[in-house]
Amino acid sequence: MRVQPAAFLRTTLPLGIESLRDYDSGRYHSIWLPDHMVSFWPDSIWTPEFTDLATLSPSPHRHLDGMAVAAAAAVLTTQTPVVTTVVDTVRRHPAMLAQTAVTIDHLSGGRFILGLGSGELENTVPYGFDFAKPVSRFEEAITVIKLLWRSDGPVDFEGEFYRLEHARLDTELHDGECPPIWIGAKGPRMLDITGRHADGWWPNGAYTPEDYAAKLTVVRTAAERAGRDPMAIVPAITQICLIGDDDEIAGMLQAPLVKSIILLLTAADLRQFGYDHPMGPDWRGVMDFNPVALSRERIIRFCAEVDTQAIRDIFPCGTPKHVAQQMKGFCEAGMRVFKLMEYGGMAGLEFGARSAAKVRETEDELLELVGDPALCT
**Mean pLDDT calculated for residue range 244-260:** 96
Q: 3-class DSSP state for residue 99?
A: helix
Contact between residue 43 and residue 101 where contact means Cβ atoms under 8 Å apart: no
Question: What is the band of 292 on the pLDDT scale with cuts at 50, 70, 90?
Answer: confident
Alpha helices in the chain (DSSP H): 20-23, 66-76, 94-108, 121-124, 134-150, 188-197, 209-225, 246-252, 256-259, 267-272, 296-305, 309-314, 320-332, 349-352, 355-369
> What pLDDT does 376 receive?
58
- Whether residue 374 is predicted with pLDDT greater than 90 in this model: the reply is no
Q: Provide the pairing of β-strand 181-184 with 31-33.
A: unpaired
Angstrom distance (rounded) from CA 31 to CA 107:
15
> What pLDDT does 205 receive?
81
Beta-bridged to residue 184, according to DSSP, are 202
Per the prediction, the chain carries an average pLDDT of: 95
Q: Which of 371, 260, 368, 367 is nearest to 4 (CA)?
A: 367
How many Cα atoms sit within 13 Å of 376 on the Cβ side?
13
pLDDT in tens, 22-64: 999 999 999 999 999 999 888 888 999 999 999 999 999 999 9
Q: Which of 40, 15, 233, 241 is nearest to 121 (CA)?
A: 40
> What pLDDT does 236 receive?
98
Angstrom distance (rounded) from CA 309 to CA 306:
9
- Sign of CA pseudo-dihedral 192, 198, 204, 207: positive
pLDDT in tens, 312-325: 999 999 999 999 99
> What pLDDT does 339 receive?
98
> What pLDDT does 377 receive?
54
Angstrom distance (rounded) from CA 225 to CA 170:
32
**Mean pLDDT calculated for residue range 61-89:** 97
**Mean pLDDT calculated for residue range 252-264:** 95
> What pLDDT does 291 receive?
84
> What pLDDT does 364 receive?
97
Q: Model's pTM, two decimal places?
A: 0.95
> What pLDDT does 35 receive?
97
pLDDT in tens, 328-369: 999 999 999 999 999 999 999 999 999 999 999 999 999 999
Contact between residue 83 and residue 31 where contact means Cβ atoms under 8 Å apart: yes
- Whether residue 20 is predicted with pLDDT greater than 70 in this model: the reply is yes
pLDDT in tens, 114-155: 999 999 988 998 899 999 999 999 999 999 999 999 999 999
- Whether residue 372 is predicted with pLDDT greater than 80 in this model: the reply is no
Of residues 296 and 373, the one with the higher pLDDT is: 296
Question: What is the band of 290 on the pLDDT scale with cuts at 50, 70, 90?
Answer: confident
